[in-house]
Amino acid sequence: MPEPGQIVTSASVLDIREFIDQRPVGRYQLMAAVMCGLIVSVDGFDAQAMGYVAPALTAALHIPRSVLGSVISTGLVGMMIGALLSGPVADRVGRKPVLVVSALIFGVGSLFTATAQSVEALIAFRVLTGLGMGGAMPNAIALTSEYMPRRRRATAVIAMICGFSLGAAVGGFVAAALIPRFGWQSVFVVGGVVPILIAAAAFFLLPESIRFLLVKGGEDARARRYLTRMAPDAVLPSKLSPGLDEQPSSGGVFVVKQLFTDGRAAATVLIWVVYFMNLLNLYFLTSWLPTIVSDAGIPVRTAILLTSLFQVGGIGGALVLGRVLDRYFSFWVLAGCYLWAAACVFLIGRLGASVPMLALMIACAGLGIIGGQNASHALTADVYPTRIRSTGVGWALGIGRIGSIIGPIIGGQLLVRGTAIHQVFWAAAVPAIIAAGSAAAVSVLLRRGASR
């Protein structure tokens, strides 16, 4: 007779995926998700740090705003490269070491940034910081996904990712408190020390993915140790399996090509379109929304506060979408979310200077765009098997980062040309429509694949 909590898929084999799916979420799993959330939160802090210190930095180093824009963009380029490189590495060596090293890299990069005395040094240090930040997110998503049961996976992954927005928001309060007393460098000192301390804690506390260890092979003893900590009441059989449809890691050098095998090519390309379009839209709006709203005749301070509701709506929307996805785990949910976003963005351009209506619609747009972005991570992680999951999420984020670089440029060009406000927001609605169509197409493809 098996003990309570034991799930055996055959006479002497334990299917780890089924085992996790059927058990309640325990403290060990929550600890793994919280550690990933802490890493992502300091990632968010460092990602927004340049924006918070920009006024003081330009004054102290006499950097023109146009040049500072290039410095900020180099951080995004670093994040793109980090996302593209870290996924394949993590699918070979593990999620934990890449997460720990990523946190160390952006911690050290932030400390170096505090010493910068020239534009060239700022660019070099922000690229280094971006490499670490880009490497953290896809592996935090993969690890959290692999420790959570399917019925709670979406909520857990999305709640973990909300740490990024929370870290970015906390960064604003920290910067406001530190810069007047200690200068702009103090923000980067905090943004460097804290990630290093969290990386040290993660080295000792963060577990490796059990499913990854079994897919990799030769790590059964280590997998059993983690499994015993996660489920001390379970009696383990002689053999562990990562899942009936999981295959051992091929050990190949170019893991990215596996995103296009076994019928995944079309879905992979469409997922990249979703990420590219939505991150283009996200950074287009966050970069220019305060300026556009201010140009409509609303005071600058009010415009900034209205823009903050975009982030608030995103956090609230992400948590709501997590619960919806736990019940209806489908890209159709994401498609509906982006159609909602397109409608809200279009309406922002039609509301004129009505502050209450703008506040409502901006928050609703954040629900669709930011909430949808967070939801897409949970869905994408489930598309790919364990052996290429970090690569799948990392490359989707990396391709999306190209959109995040292009988005602010497009916005700037529209404003320089004197495009009417309603036309600017109509243009911003188009990427959301394309993302919605692509998400719907992914859902159709996955359903066809499952029915074969």
Contacts of 448 (CB under 8 A, 6+ apart): none
> Is 3 within a domain?
no
> Is 250 within a domain?
no
**Distance separating alpha carbons of residues 236 and 368, to the nearest angstrom:** 43
Final residue of a domain: which of 206, 241, 276?
A: 241
Mean pLDDT of 1-12: 46
pLDDT at 4 over 70: no
> Is 207 within a domain?
yes
Domain check: are 35 and 184 in the same one?
yes
pLDDT value at position 302? Answer: 77
Q: What is the pLDDT of residues 214-264, one digit of tens each?
A: 888 878 889 889 988 888 887 778 788 776 566 655 544 467 888 998 889
Mean predicted lDDT score pLDDT of the chain: 85
Residues in the chain: 452
Domain check: are 36 and 166 in the same one?
yes
Q: What is the band of 208 on the pLDDT scale with cuts at 50, 70, 90?
A: very high
- Of 52-61, 164-173, 266-275, 369-378, the range with the highest mean pLDDT is 266-275
| DSSP string over 169-207 | HHHHHHHHHHHHHH-THHHHHHHHHHHHHHHHHHHHHPP
Q: What is the band of 11 on the pLDDT scale with cuts at 50, 70, 90?
A: very low
Distance from first CA to last CA of the chain, Å, rounded?
A: 36
pLDDT value at position 261? Answer: 86
Q: What is the pLDDT of residues 405-415, one digit of tens each?
A: 888 888 778 87
Mean pLDDT of 359-365: 91
Domain check: are 297 and 226 in the same one?
no
Domain check: are 161 and 301 in the same one?
no
Final residue of a domain: which of 208, 241, 274?
A: 241
Domain check: are 158 and 21 in the same one?
yes
Lowest mean pLDDT among 176-190, 284-298, 318-332, 432-446: 284-298
Residue 240 pairs in a beta bridge with: 14
Identify whether the C-beta of residue 137 lies closer than 8 Å to the C-beta of residue 40. Answer: yes
pLDDT at 8 over 70: no
- Of 12-21, 59-68, 125-134, the range with the highest mean pLDDT is 125-134
Domain check: are 262 and 201 in the same one?
no
Identify whether the C-beta of residue 77 lies closer than 8 Å to the C-beta of residue 201. Answer: no
Identify whether the C-beta of residue 170 lies closer than 8 Å to the C-beta of residue 391. Answer: no
pLDDT at 66 over 90: no
Contacts of 344 (CB under 8 A, 6+ apart): 361, 362, 364, 365, 367, 368
Q: What's 228's domain CATH number?
A: 1.20.1250.20
**Distance separating alpha carbons of residues 439 and 373, to the nearest angstrom:** 12
Instruction: Answer yes or no: pTM beyond 0.75.
Output: yes
> Is 247 within a domain?
no
Domain check: are 183 and 259 in the same one?
no
> Is 333 within a domain?
yes
Domain check: are 277 and 177 in the same one?
no
Q: What is the pLDDT of residues 271-285, one digit of tens each?
A: 999 999 999 998 888
- Cβ-count burial 261-280 (b if 16+ within 10 Å, e if not): eeebeebbebbbbbbbbbbb
Final residue of a domain: which of 241, 273, 303?
A: 241
* Residue found under tokens 């976003």: 341
pLDDT at 327 over 80: yes
Domain check: are 203 and 278 in the same one?
no
Q: Fill in the amino acid letter for 196.
A: I
- List the beta strands (DSSP E) in 226-323: 239-241
Identify whether the C-beta of residue 329 lies closer than 8 Å to the C-beta of residue 154. Answer: yes
* Residue found under tokens 């929307």: 317
Number of domains in the chain: 2
Q: What is the band of 176 on the pLDDT scale with cuts at 50, 70, 90?
A: confident
pLDDT value at position 245? Answer: 62
Q: What is the pLDDT of residues 96-107, one digit of tens each?
A: 999 999 999 999
Mean pLDDT of 204-216: 90
Lowest mean pLDDT among 16-20, 279-283, 330-334: 16-20
By residue range, what is the domain housing residue 370? Answer: 255-451
pLDDT value at position 249? Answer: 55
> Is 248 within a domain?
no
Domain check: are 52 and 121 in the same one?
yes
Domain check: are 23 and 163 in the same one?
yes
> Is 433 within a domain?
yes
Residue 258 DSSP symbol = G
Identify whether the C-beta of residue 122 lies closer than 8 Å to the C-beta of residue 75. Answer: no
> Is 5 within a domain?
no
Domain check: are 209 and 284 in the same one?
no
Mean pLDDT of 126-153: 91
